A and B are shown apart, each in its own frame.
Chain A
C-alpha cells in the first residue's frame, strides 16, 4: 500500500533572475513498512522534500499524495488536518512543550489520538523506557540534556499510530550509540507497518534504510535498492 506518492514535484522560490530552485522534478513512492533514507549535501533539497511530504509546504509543480489524498488541492486547514492525522515529525530541535514533563509530552500525542489518559501515560513511559529514559519521565524539558530532549521528541513521534514518520536529521545532537538506538527504533516502527522517510547526512544511519536516495542540487542523483539479502556478504557468500 502506497503511503506517500511524490509525483514529479518541484519547489521554486522567487522569479526571474532571482529564482531559486530548491527541488526539481523529484518523484518518490514509499509503501507501508518501508524505510527510505534521503542523503545529500546542505542545499540539496532534503529538507524541502520532507516538508512537501509532510504537507508543511506546497510544491510549485507536480503533486504530493499522502495516504491517497492529493495535498496540492487542500487549503491550509485541510493540510493541517492531514498532517495531524497522518504524519509524525522529528526535527533537529526537539520542540517539546516546556510546561509538560517528558512523559506528558509523549502521552499527549497518544491522547490526541483518542487513547485514554491512563493508558496514554503507560504507553508513554514504556516508550521512554525503550529509549533509555525510564527515569526521566517526570522531568521537564529544561531539566533534560539536548540528547535526552531529542529522544523524548522521537518517542512522541512514534507514539501515535500514524502511517508516515518524517525525520529530518534527528540524530544530530546525539552520540553514536544513542543514534544507533534511534535507528533501531525507526526500523521497528517500519516492522509495525509505518512508512519512514529519514533525511540525513550520516551514512551509517542511512544504511539502516531499505532504500537510500541521493539528492544533489534539488535533483535525484542516484538510488540504492534494497540490500541483496542475508545470503550475500561481500564477495564470499557466507553468513553466520
Chain B
C-alpha cells in the first residue's frame, strides 16, 4: 500500500476524528522499515509500496493483546481552566462549569443524532467510535457535577466561616463595651 493510501484508509476507518499528517505517515513508515516491521518495493511510477512482514504481524498481534497503558495522564484543558479560574479569583467559577456543561451536552446531542443514523445503517465499527465519544462526554459531565458540588460545599463552608468571624468580632467589641452581655450571648 502507498503511504498516502494508508492515510486515507485510516481516516475513513476512524471517522476523520484524528486526521493524519502525511509527513508523519512517511516518517513512521520509514522507521517501521528500519525495524523490519514492514518491507518496501518501488512500483512502475517510482512510488514506494509498503507491506507488513512476519515480525510486523507478530508485533501487531502483541498490540491487539496488550491493554492500553494508563500511566500517561493526558492534559485536561478543562481541569486546568478551573484550577486557574479559582486561583485567579474569578468570582463565578460555577458559571465556568455551567458553560462547559452546556457545550458538552450540545456535542452529545450531535453524536446522539449520528448514532441514531448509524443504528439504522448497522455500521458497528462506526457505532463503537461514537459510543466512545458518548461515554467520554458522560464522564466529563459527571466530573463537572462533582466540581459543582465541591464548589458549592466550599461556598457554604466559607460562608459559615465568615459568619463565625462576624459573630466573634461583634462579640469581642460587645464584650469590651459590656462584659455581662458575653454571658448572655454565647455562640
**Chain A in direct contact with chain B (Cβ < 8 angstroms):** yes
CB distance from B143 to the nearest CB of A (A): 12
A240's closest neighbor in chain B, by CB? B126
Assembly CA distance A206 to B141 (angstroms): 12
Q: How far does the Cβ of A127 sit from chain B's closest Cβ, in whole Å?
A: 20
> Given B19, B109, B117, B133, which contacts A236 in the complex, CB threshold below 8 Å?
B19
Interface size class, chain B: 20 to 34
Judge whether B110 is part of the interface by a CB distance below 8 angstroms: yes
Given A204-B108, A209-B109, A227-B109, verify A214-B102 contact (CB < 8 Å). Answer: yes
In the bound complex, do residue A207 and residue B112 qualify as a contact, i.e. CB atoms below 8 Å apart? yes
Given contacts A203-B141, A208-B112, A228-B110, contact A223 B102 (CB under 8 A): yes
Residue in B104, B106, B116, B123 whose beta carbon sits within 8 Å of that of A184 in the complex: B116
For chain A, what secondary structure do more than half of its interface residues adopt (helix, strand, loop), or is it mixed?
Answer: loop
Knowing A207-B111, A240-B15 touch, does A224 contact B123 (C-beta < 8 A)?
no
Sampled A-B contacts (18; CB under 8 Å): A203-B105, A203-B108, A203-B141, A204-B112, A204-B138, A207-B109, A214-B101, A222-B98, A223-B102, A224-B109, A227-B110, A230-B113, A230-B114, A230-B117, A234-B107, A234-B110, A236-B17, A238-B16
Q: What residues make up the interface of A, taking CB atoms closer than 8 Å to B?
A: 39, 41, 184, 187, 203-204, 206-209, 212, 214, 216, 221-228, 230, 232-234, 236, 238-240
- Identify the B interface with A (CB < 8 A): 15-17, 19, 98-99, 101-102, 104-114, 116-118, 121, 123, 126, 133-134, 137-138, 141, 145
